Amino acid sequence: MKTNIKISCLCILFLAFCINAYSQIEIHEYQGEKLSPFDRGYDNSIKGPQKVDITTYRLLVNGKVQKTLLLTYNEILALPSVTRAITLNCIEGWSEHLLFKGVRIADIVKSASINKDVQTVIFYAIDGYSSSLTYNYVLANDIMLTYEINGKKLDAERGFPLQVVAESKYGYKWVKWVTRIEFSDKPYEGYWEKRGYDNDADITK
């Protein structure tokens, strides 16, 4: 009897492993378009890939809001998801076309009640990096935070647990390892903007 129970438990564990492995199979093409690979052999962050303890992780939403939020990773995953194929353009001259799955910022902050005088949304990363987007841009473009790329959960190199997907903006606006979203009534210059980078970061300029 005990042997049968052990075998059953092992079978369940093996099945769970197979399901998880299958769910992490990388998507290489989406709606007839080839996707860039999930893995890449370089890193241009300011302090290298960051490891986040998801058991203690909380996303802080504060600033010009009626209610400050502290959200767990699972609470964020429980929100309605969106999937979009978008090209990330780096100021260094390279680009990659990827499939992003995540949550709209509007859904994340819905219960925070944003003040009417808000102009800027500031994103802070665990490594001290930061950047900002105008509030109007975030709303008009339905900007999202991603937790999956090409069907695979973000890893440390890709910005786990959350990365900003700033469509039509250069890569320095795509903040990784996001730990805080602040709403402000003033413009804000982030890490690279303070060093001379354009605060709009519009790829059409």
Residue-wise pLDDT tens digits, 65-109: 999 999 999 999 999 999 999 999 999 999 999 999 999 999 999
Q: Which residues contact residue 16 at a Cβ distance below 8 angstroms, ignoring those fewer than 6 apart? A: none
Residue-wise pLDDT tens digits, 102-116: 999 999 999 999 999
Whether 9 shows a pLDDT value over 60: the answer reads no
Task: Determine which of 22-26, 112-116, 137-141 has the lowest per-residue pLDDT on average.
Answer: 22-26
Look up residue 32 and give its two tokens: 């007839």
Please choose, from the candidates 150, 152, 162, the residue with its C-alpha nearest in 3D space to the C-alpha of residue 54: 162
More confident residue, 136 or 16: 136
Domains for the chain: give ranges and CATH numbers: 27-195 (3.90.420.10)
Please choose, from the candidates 147, 179, 183, 190, the residue with its C-alpha nearest in 3D space to the C-alpha of residue 60: 179
Rounded to whole angstroms, the Cα distance separating 71 from 168 reads 28
Give how far Cα 96 sits from Cα of 184, 185, 200, Å. Answer: 31, 33, 20
Task: Determine which of 7-11, 14-18, 183-187 has the lowest per-residue pLDDT on average.
Answer: 14-18
Whether 16 shows a pLDDT value over 70: the answer reads no
Say what the pTM is: 0.88
Q: Tell me which long-range contacts 70-76 makes (C-beta under 8 A, separation of at least 24).
A: 71/108, 73/161, 76/103, 76/108, 76/145, 76/147, 76/161, 76/162
3-state secondary structure of 132: strand
Please choose, from the candidates 40, 39, 54, 48, the residue with its C-alpha nearest in 3D space to the C-alpha of residue 161: 54
7: alpha, beta or left? (left if phi > 0; alpha if psi -120 to 50) = alpha
Task: Provide the pLDDT for residue 10.
Answer: 45
Residue-wise pLDDT tens digits, 190-203: 999 999 999 999 99
Backbone angles phi, psi at 110, to 5 degrees: -55, -45
Residue-wise pLDDT tens digits, 154-182: 999 999 999 999 999 999 999 999 999 99
As a whole number, mean pLDDT of residues 29-58 equals 95
